[in-house]
Structure 1
Amino acid sequence: MPKIPENTMAPRELQPGQRCEVWIASVTGERELVFTTRDVLLEAPNWTRDGAAFILNGAGKLWRFEVGSRTISQVPLTGVPDLNNDHVLAPDGTGIYLSANDGHIYRAALGGGAATRLTDDDGYFHFLHGVSPDGDELAYVGIEAGDFAQPGRLMIIPAGGGDATLLNVDGHCDGPEYAPDGDWLYFNTEAFTSSPGHAQLSRLRTSDGGAPDQPALEQLLTSDTVDWFPHLAPDGRWASYIRFPGGTVGHPADLPVDVVLVSTGDWTTPLHCWPLFGGQGTLNVNSWSPDSTRFAYVAYPVG
């Protein structure tokens, strides 16, 4: 298949009068504003395994925000193009997997240094979202030829690179993430509806990857909103996701959305909701603290 041209996407920037806010929300319902900037549009926090920091992207770079001191610094990476907001931490706590704007997935040390490309020129853009708890597999969304009019395809690949496996789920899919026990993949999909863009939360057993013709999907809740990016806490008891207004197509930026907390025993009953102005970049990747009591998200208010 043809090689996809490099650097076909540009890093997002703040609008005039817009600011970026990083928040911490608690399972008890409180939230705290921990960082504000008008200089760079930060996205998609990952909470480090030691609980000390968030890893975010912004301006095509990788950033580390220290939770204790409330300071931020750039992570020095080499050998990788501008980054997007799809990045996940390796289970060993020392590495990070990164999606870049050339459509490929890379791995680097969490402290910085040279990055290694993992994906081949197979004709797809690769948008990373999950790594298995044992560190052996990556789950990502493949967009054929970088054409965003095409549906996102659910795919898995060995963590060291190699041949990808397609899971044949109907409709557009995004955000595949492994459960803490590794038994499930959680993601959003349009498989349950004929309405364009009406994503709903779902899961499938990872063992169904051995039967990719038609994996058995479980819909987690039925709603009139457009629901994206389910993220489970490390203890498996809680989950967060982002809720877009009904009729939204995709997961755009700059509109009123809700960040939602649920118990994984009952996805239909929100425990807490935090309304904000945001969307794209707010909660694209897992941002739970290692003790499962808090998670981070980003808002982009204007004015």
Structure 2
Amino acid sequence: MLWALNAYAQDNAEQPEGKVLQSSLETYNIETGEREVVYQVKDHIEAPNWSHDGSYFLFNSNGRLYTIPVEGGEPKQLDTGFADNCNNDHGFSPDGSMLAISHSPEGEGSKIYVMPATGGTPRLVTEKAPSYWHGWSPDGETLVYPAQRNGEFDIYAISVNGGEETRLTTAEGLDDGAEYTPDGKWIYFNSVRTGVMKIFRMRPDGTGVEQITSNEEYGDWFPHPSPDGNHIVFLSYDASVEGHPPNKDVVLRLMPIEGGEPEVVVELFGGQGTINVPSWSLDSKKFAFVSYSWVDTD
């Protein structure tokens, strides 16, 4: 199935003449180093999650969410009710029964909703916008997310049932990509507070902040702890790159969660959309990501 190339790629100034964007949904096996392509399409797809039962991937494209079997095949659109402007911040609850999504209602910024993982009508969690889901506490009771309030992006927490949000970070500069460890003792996130985007962690109440990565050659984004609590994988740009744009030469780096030197495990063309959200298999042996390339229109 070939979907029409979306406005994102059409408007990209870096798009070579006569070329279209091809997205490749891939997996990487941390034990064997094997990199496997599951699905390719001449369109822009982003941010795969691995389902709790291990049978399918979830990704977003053109404001909608899609599922595809882990062995490949044809994507199927997930019923998200009125939410037809979903971005790449989505993920499953710890028990796999629910899904958190980030949808921008017409004329508004992104808000966070929860819904059945099998599809259905989303329920609003965050009244304020913009808010972008990134993590779910292991007990299923709390969501963490970066949000812009009064011109500043910080990490916030909120009950899955909604209500008042709690600000967890206060440092000047962008904080993003918040995600709990499986034991619930830490929240990993990325922050530009030291000048270059790096990986940090903090306690769930926002205390005990520690910097995890330090190599000034890289800008590090979106740390994802493995389900067994042994590793984190994250995306790194060249430190000269501002923000987390698409269509850059980037690497995925893997490191022990207790610390150590990160290892480059995948080199690819990508960035935004590659590995924004949790994408580990439940057995912690593989993670999923999206790489991109410019290909002929034929």
Tell me the TM-score normalized by structure 1: 0.87
Shift of the alpha carbon at 1:268?
2.0
Please report how far the alpha carbon of residue 99 of structure 1 lies from its aligned counterpart in structure 2 after TM superposition.
0.6
Aligned to 2:280: 288
Where do 1:263-278 residues align within 5 Å? 263-270=256-263, 272-278=264-270
Match of 2:137 in 1: 132
Cα separation, 1, equivalents of 2:9 and 2:79 = 20
Contact 1:200 1:221 (8 Å CA) reproduced = yes
Structure 1: how far apart are the matches of 2:130 and 2:72? 37
Q: Secondary structure at the match of 2:131?
A: strand
Q: Which moved more, 1:176-185 or 1:16-25?
A: 16-25
Cα pair 2:137 2:180 within 8 Å, conserved: yes
Q: Given the alignment of the two structures, is residue 247 of structure 1 paired with residue 240 of structure 2, yes or no?
A: yes
Following superposition of structure 1 onto structure 2, how do residues 47-62 of structure 1 map, counting pairs within 5 Å? 47-62=50-65
CA distance in 2, matches of 1:152, 1:289: 30
Larger mean CA deviation between 164-173 and 182-191 belongs to 164-173
8 Å contact from structure 1 (residues 88, 96) kept in 2: yes
Matched residue of 2:251: which SS? strand
Could you say which residue in structure 1 is the equivalent of 2:223? 230
The answer on whether the counterparts of 1:220 and 1:268 sit within 8 Å (CA) in structure 2 is: no
Segments of structure 2 that go 5 or more residues without pairing to the other structure are 1-5
Question: Aligned with 1:18: secondary structure?
Answer: strand
Write out aligned runs for 1:181-196 (5 A). 181-193=183-195
Is residue 28 of structure 2 the alignment partner of residue 25 of structure 1?
yes
Q: 1:140 to 1:125 in 2, by over 3 A?
A: same
Taking only aligned residues, the RMSD between alpha carbons, in angstroms, comes to 1.7
Q: Which residue of 2 aligns with 1:71?
A: 74
Counterpart check, 1:154 vs 2:155: yes
Match in the other structure for 1:297? 289
The yes-or-no answer on 1:141 pairing with 2:146 is yes
Contact 1:11/1:83 (<8 A) preserved: no
Gaps of 5+ in 1: 1-9, 210-214
Q: Please, which of 112, 120, 124 is the counterpart of residue 105 of structure 1?
A: 112
2:78 aligned with 1:86: no
Q: Provide runs of 4+ in structure 1 moved above 3 Å.
A: 10-16
**Which position in structure 1 is the counterpart of 2:40?**
36
Q: Which amino acid in 2 is paired with 1:250?
A: G
Once the two structures are aligned, what percentage of the paired residues are identical?
A: 34
**CA–CA separation in structure 1 for the residues paired with 2:39 and 2:260:** 30
1:11 and 1:82 in contact (8 A); partners too: no
The correspondence for 1:201, drawn from 182, 199, 202, is 199
Offset of residue 18 of structure 1: 1.5
Is residue 11–residue 84 contact of structure 1 (8 Å, CA) maintained in 2? no
Q: Which residue of 1 aligns with 2:3?
A: none
Distance 1:168 1:139 in 2: 11
In structure 1, give the amino acid aligned to 2:281.
S
- Alignment length, in residue pairs? 276
The one-letter code sitting in structure 1 at the alignment partner of 2:213 is L
Deviation string for 1:131-171 (max 9, x for gaps)? 100011000011137xxxx4421100001111000123312
Cα distance in 2 for partners of 1:141, 1:135 equals 18
